[in-house]
Structure 1
Amino acid sequence: MDFMIRIWISLVALSFAAPLSAQEGPDDGVNADMILALKGLQLLDHRLNAIGYRLVDANTPYCDQKAARTGLLLNDVAQYVDQETARFALGFDGSVGITAVAPDSPAESAKLSPGDTLLAINTIPINDIAIDDPELSNQQPVYRRVAAINRLLEQALAEDNVRLTISRGGINQTISVAAAMTCPSQFQIRVSADRSAGADGKLVSVSSRLAEYFLTDDEFAAVVAHELAHNLLKHRDRLDAKNVNRGFFGQFGESASEIKAAEIEADRLSVWLMVNAGYDPQAAIRFWTRYGKEHGKGIFSASTHYRWKKRVELFEEELAKMAAMEPVGGKFSPPLLAKAD
């Protein structure tokens, strides 16, 4: 099926997934073009949330640190200028709600759905969760509430199941949700006109324009796995410990060498993460070959990154290593993660 047709089918499905209270049709205060744009963004959120959760869940046995995850992706309408339109498009009764639920996750088992409005975690109302914590100061103000909610949710899940009070179609209900202990990392679509992806040690972000460029979820997973590899290998902490300059001057000298070494490791580990999660590792080769031929010296081709032909060679080397191994339980233990322990 044509990729764009699949997108439109998914957009229609998302529109019907919203509560009936949000299906009556936009009034004069709601921007129809903005609704379509937000539905498109929500589709990208769904894809990234599903891919990210699948990668961290499948590779859990090989991560030295674990985090409590539900498979939920939350959104706050306060981050949008036109909050009325955002609330209508996302199907929320209130201000913070569920925008995506990962397949085969605890959230899916609990029958939580996109469009559910989150009202409380255990007995703590969402509006009472503090967002002035110094640890949240690096977040933009409009993202701090969701960051604070995610942190509280993770802390509560580490102790026991949590009770989430939600509103669905105007009716409040409390749902018990368990946690899955997975590799740590969170994932987000960053609305941007550039094609880029990044990792900050805790979060993997993919620009909306790059996400739209992927032909398949396997290609999407190839880039997400690369960025996740940076987080799992603690590259940011390691580069900081060596005082590596990641700005303009990081393109030269010793800093460039250190960054390139980290990029090589992330490339090598990425295909192991993909295989363990059931993604086609050949998609990494297809994606970088296509992107390299189309964009030449564009994204990821600075002095700190190998050019696409060399990256393809790295993937092939790692796939050859796996081909010479016997998987255990259908999975392969990534040497780089064992080395990082």
Structure 2
Amino acid sequence: MLRFLCLLSVFTLVAQPESGTAQSVEGQAIDSQAVQALQSLQRLDQRMHATGYRLVAANAEFCKETVPHLGILLHDLQQYGDQDTARIALGFSSPIAINAVAPDSPAAVAELAVGDGLTAIDGIAVQDIAADTEKLSNEKPEYRQIAAVKAKLIEAAVDGEAVLTIQRGGISQQVILAPRTTCPSQFQIRVSTKREASADGKIVSISSTLAEYVRSDDELAAIAAHELAHNLLKHRERLNAQKVNRGFFGQFGKSAKRIKAAEIEADRLSVWLMANAGYDPQAAIRFWTRYGKQHGKGIFSASTHYRWKKRVKLFDEEIAKMKQMEPVAGKFAPPLLAANAAK
């Protein structure tokens, strides 16, 4: 969904420690709950990153537009309010470090690891990579440097390879990564007490609470694939061009019909994306059946969305279409992407 929102039970990332709320590491007092919260969030980041990479890499041959991908997710110590705790909890080797490495990605092949510090890209020190404050004006100040570094990393990958200088255990080394071509889209976990997901045309966001609600990686992939489908089909651009109202009045008339049409397309495409990435498309049925039975009211009873039983029927129809096809090298060509590429 372009804005998948449902108010459900609250989940907190902060787990209770077995004893006490403070620990001492190398003489420094830290809050055990804060450490566990950060490490829980990091595990969600890693799971989301792996799922997203697998989806965009497996479906690259069907995407009209493609991008180079190295398979690493970076984070910046500046992002964290308590930087001393973050450094200890997340194992930063330098202020900008690797937060996740996608399996089977160029970074994984090069044996990069979580916690490795990134100190230079193509010989340019990360602290010398200037953040364009005009382009990044919508970013919070603490996120501007990491945004600039990510942009530089993409720029290096576009040129065919990226030379990274990595800090690990006090030792510096250079690693050359040749990017893999993937579909466009980035994936992120957003800390929230609501179960929600969204797609803005470039980024797929899934809330921490929703990521904890799913029962398997296949179910997480079902949600991520739906949001990715919105991006690949350029639904936000299309709805904006049609001047669709996303507010209260978007629940009525032409706006509601156009939003629902986009939701139906995203559902249809999602199971094809899942199957091509080796996920079980039946997980979409399992997830929405369970979710619908538990939480059938709310936004999904609105005129912009199918109710859960219709969604399940739609998934069944698409899976049946795939079963009638002969896969090529284990992949099914999604009809919606073929139609989109022809436009």
Q: What TM-score, normalized by structure 1, do the two folds share? A: 0.90
Structure 1 regions of 5+ residues with no counterpart? 1-23
Q: Does 1:243 align with 2:224?
A: no
CA contact under 8 A between 2:299 and 2:305: conserved in structure 1?
no
Q: What amino acid sits opposite 2:302 in the alignment?
A: A
| CA apart distance, 1:69 | 0.4
Match of 1:107? 107
Q: Higher mean Cα deviation, 250-259 or 318-327?
A: 250-259
The answer to whether the Cα contact below 8 Å between 1:74 and 1:99 also exists between their aligned partners in 2 is yes
Question: Corresponding residue for 1:37?
Answer: 37
Offset from partner CA, 1:10-36 (integer Å, 9 cap, x none): xxxxxxxxxxxxxx9364342221111
Aligned to 2:178: 178
Distance (whole Å) between structure 1 residues aligned to residue 87 and residue 249 of structure 2: 43
Question: Post-superposition shift, 1:247?
Answer: 2.7
Q: Which amino acid aligns with 1:162?
A: A
Conservation of the 8 A alpha-carbon contact between 2:133 and 2:144:
no
Per-residue CA deviation, residues 200-219 of structure 1 (Å, 9 max, x unaligned), is 11100100000000100000
- Which residue identity does 1:194 align to in structure 2? K
Deviation at 1:133, TM superposition (A): 4.3
SS of 2:163 mapped into structure 1: strand
Deviation per CA, 1:154-183: give whole Å up to 9, x if none.
111111211111211222211111100100
Cα distance in structure 1, aligned partners of 2:126 and 2:68: 19
- What is the CA distance between 1:139 and its match in structure 2? 2.7
1:190 lines up with 2:180 in the alignment: no
SS at match of 2:309: helix
Shift of 1:119: 0.9
SS of 1:37 mapped into structure 2:
helix
* C-alpha separation in 2, matches of 1:59 and 1:143: 30
Residues of 2 paired with 1:63 and 1:334: CA distance? 10
Cα pair 1:26 1:32 within 8 Å, conserved: no
What is the alpha-carbon distance in structure 2 between the residues aligned to residue 300 and residue 112 of structure 1? 42
Tell me which residue corresponds to 1:297. Answer: 297
Distance 1:128 1:249, change over 3 A: farther
Equivalence for 2:265: 265
Task: State the distance in 2 between where 1:26 and 1:206 align.
Answer: 36
**Cα 1:73/1:230, change in 2 over 3 Å:** same
Gaps of 5+ in 2: 1-23
Q: Structure 1 residue 324 and structure 2 residue 324: aligned?
A: yes
1:303 and 1:142 map into 2 onto residues whose CA distance is: 39
Query: Tell me, what secondary structure is at the counterpart of 2:25?
Result: coil
Q: Distance in 2 between the 1:265 and 1:285 partners?
A: 16
Count of residue pairs the alignment pairs up? 318
Query: What is the match of residue 274 of structure 2?
Result: 274
Residues 187, 301 of structure 1: alpha-carbon distance in 2 compared, 3 angstrom cutoff? farther
Residues 304-323 of structure 1 mapped to structure 2, 5 A cutoff: 304-323=304-323
Q: 1:240-268 CA distances to partner (integer Å, 9 max, x unpaired)?
A: 11111223332222111111111110000
Question: For the residues of structure 2 that align with 1:41 and 1:192, how far apart are their CA atoms?
Answer: 11
Give TM-score scaled by structure 2 length. Answer: 0.89
For residues 63 and 214 of structure 1, do their structure 2 counterparts lie closer, same or farther at Cα, with a shift above 3 Å needed?
Answer: same
Q: What do the CA deviations read for 1:34-72 (whole angstroms, capped 9, x no partner)?
A: 111111111111111111000000001100111110110
Secondary structure of 1:135's counterpart equals coil
What are the superposed Cα offsets for residues 119-154 of structure 1, whole Å, 9 maximum, x if unpaired? 111122111222234332233333222222222111
Q: Is the 8 A contact 2:235 2:262 kept in 1?
A: yes
Post-superposition Cα deviations, 1:176-207, rounded to whole Å, max 9, x if no partner, equal 11100100110110011110011111100100
Which runs of at least 4 in structure 1 moved beyond 6 Å after TM superposition? none
Aligned partner of 2:200: which letter?
Answer: D
Correspondence for 2:116? 116
Partner of 1:228: 228
SS of aligned partner of 1:97: strand
Q: Which amino acid aligns with 1:99?
A: N
Structure 1 Cα separation of the partners of residues 72 and 305 of structure 2: 33
- Mean CA deviation greater in 136-145 or 36-45: 136-145
- Partners of 1:285 and 1:237 in 2: CA distance: 28
**Matching residue's letter, 1:201:** G
Looking at structure 2, the residues matched to 141 and 298 of structure 1 have their Cα atoms a distance apart, in angstroms, of 36
SS at match of 1:165: strand
How many Å separate the matches in 2 of 1:314 and 1:76? 42
Task: Give the structure 2 partner of residue 91 of structure 1.
Answer: 91
With 119-128 and 295-304 compared, the bigger mean Cα shift is at 295-304
Residue 100 to residue 299, structure 1, CA distance change in 2 (3 Å): farther
Q: Identity over the aligned pairs, expressed in percent?
A: 63
| Alpha-carbon distance in 2 for matches of 1:71, 1:300 | 34
Q: 2:340 corresponds to which residue?
A: 340
**Structure 1 partner of 2:13:** none
What is the identity, as a one-letter code, of the residue corresponding to 2:210? L
Task: Please name the residue that 1:20 is paired with.
Answer: none
Structure 2 match to 1:141:
141
Give the 3-state SS of the residue equivalent to 2:30 in structure 1. coil
